């Protein structure tokens, strides 16, 4: 979809559950058993070490799946254990959840994605356009389901005229490219 589409790119949230990755931090709570509750990092092999039960696979699973696995292993030692797993630090998806601004900006950069962030927010964080920019030819690239969608951004109109029609809300992984003018 190449577009200055009136509705802009789709920014609806996907109904998916977070999959735990290597280097994420997990807080494991076993109700009424504080000695078994712990905070652990996910190791490079995708496993975590839990008191009493040892190694448990966590990488690639949801927090609910990990809690069920720990509960099943603890049931051998404790009657009807109640286990909660909370992802306390998201480190595995750090580079997947970034916005990149490239081309004719003062400081091309990769920045953390924040909900509600727009094209203007990202370009301003990159220092704005430089003297050689062709801001109304700016493109927003978004990868969706193994294909890349391209959206036309009228950045010059956003910056100079306050026309916010193409100041789309961003999604993690988006790339904004500001081309240089043709002399």
Mean pLDDT in runs of 10 for the chain (183 residues)? Answer: 45 62 93 95 93 94 96 95 93 79 96 92 96 96 91 96 95 94 82
CATH dotted code for 25-89? 3.30.1950.10
Furthest C-alpha separation in the chain: 76
The runs of H, that is alpha helices, within 86-161 are 119-125, 155-161
CATH dotted code for 95-178? 3.10.560.10
Q: What pLDDT is attached to residue 72?
A: 97
What's the rounded Cα separation, in Å, for the pair 183 and 176? 22
The runs of H, that is alpha helices, within 77-164 are 119-125, 155-161
What's the rounded Cα separation, in Å, for the pair 169 and 151? 12
Q: What pLDDT is attached to residue 2?
A: 43
HSE of 23, CA atoms in CB hemisphere, 13 A? 6
- Where does CATH 3.10.560.10 sit in the chain? 95-178
Give the global pTM: 0.58
């Amino acid at each position: 979809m190449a577009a200055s589409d009136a509705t802009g790119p789709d920014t609806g949230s996907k109904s998916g559950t977070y999959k735990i990755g290597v280097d994420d931090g997990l807080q494991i709570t076993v109700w009424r058993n504080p000695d078994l509750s712990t905070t652990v990092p996910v190791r490079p092999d995708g496993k975590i070490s839990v008191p009493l039960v040892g190694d448990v696979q966590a990488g690639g699973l949801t927090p609910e799946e990990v809690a069920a696995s720990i509960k099943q292993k603890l049931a051998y030692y404790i009657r009807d254990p109640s286990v909660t797993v909370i992802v306390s630090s998201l480190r595995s998806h750090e580079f997947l959840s970034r916005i990149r601004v490239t081309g004719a900006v003062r400081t091309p950069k990769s920045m953390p994605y924040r909900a509600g962030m727009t094209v203007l927010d990202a370009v301003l964080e990159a220092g704005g356009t430089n003297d050689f920019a062709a801001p109304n030819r700016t493109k927003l690239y978004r990868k969706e389901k193994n294909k890349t969608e391209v959206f036309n951004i009228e950045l010059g109109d956003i910056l100079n005229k306050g026309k916010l029609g193409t100041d789309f809300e961003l999604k993690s992984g988006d790339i904004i490219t500001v081309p240089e003018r043709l002399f």
